[in-house]
A and B are shown apart, each in its own frame.
Chain A
Amino acid sequence: DAGVIQSPRHEVTEMGQEVTLRCKPISGHDYLFWYRQTMMRGLELLIYFNNNVPIDDSGMPEDRFSAKMPNASFSTLKIQPSEPRDSAVYFCASSLGGLTEQFFGPGTRLTVL
């Protein structure tokens, strides 16, 4: 099993640019979660999907953030425009059923200059 796959692993961009992070969940999993991890705030849930439908986006910090899941094997998190305070590690996780353990991807380290 390949596990959760995220790309890119590292992203460096300039303030104001659009950033798109990608995630492929574990095959067969029906829940997908996007998290952000910073030293100051730890690991925070941004949004989660069930069967490709967004269920709770209350953790999305601003309208600059958006997430989509066009099919069961792909999701994107987009930041437009990006700001230096968006610098963090972004994780995608998936689970089979919402009440079981979540499996995390390796993360995308985003640096906004």
Chain B
Amino acid sequence: EDQVTQSPEALRLQEGESSSLNCSYTVSGLRGLFWYRQDPGKGPEFLFTLYSAGEEKEKERLKATLTKKESFLHITAPKPEDSATYLCAVRRFNDYKLSFGAGTTVTVRA
């Protein structure tokens, strides 16, 4: 069974204080690791897909990286608008289902 574990559960940052979120996974034949952002009362919003170890993707202050066992979401110089829950999900080879982690709730104080 696929397992996706995110840490920490919650992260409180000062504006401008960079940090990283972790997503460790156990999946038979990874066919994509996905990062989503979810704001309160809204549906998850797609951020990135990573397919192979060593791959990196960036979007504004966010950068996602992937190794064979985990992925990191780096937030550089965060702003209050980066406050949200960040979800990680994996898809296995020959399957269309996403298995989600519990998420990391990030709060950025001005």
Report which A residues bind B (CB closer than 8 A). Answer: 4, 31, 33, 42-45, 48, 50, 55-56, 91, 93, 98-107
Closest to A56 in B: B97
Which of A4, A48, A101, A103 is the most central at the interface, judged by chain B CB atoms within 10 Å of its CB?
A: A101
Name the prevailing secondary structure of the A interface residues. strand
| Known pairs A48-B97, A55-B96, A99-B96; A107 contacts B31 (CB<8 A) | no
- Closest CB of chain A to B9's CB: distance in Å? 11
- Closest CB of chain A to B102's CB: distance in Å? 5
Name the prevailing secondary structure of the B interface residues. strand
Counted as pairs of residues, one from A and one from B, with CB atoms less than 8 Å apart, the total is 47
Which of B91, B97, B99 is the most central at the interface, judged by chain A CB atoms within 10 Å of its CB?
A: B97
Contact B32 A99 (CB under 8 A): yes
20 sampled A-B residue pairs with Cβ under 8 A? A31-B96, A42-B101, A43-B87, A43-B89, A44-B100, A45-B97, A45-B99, A48-B97, A56-B96, A91-B43, A98-B96, A99-B96, A101-B49, A102-B46, A102-B98, A103-B46, A104-B45, A106-B41, A106-B42, A107-B43
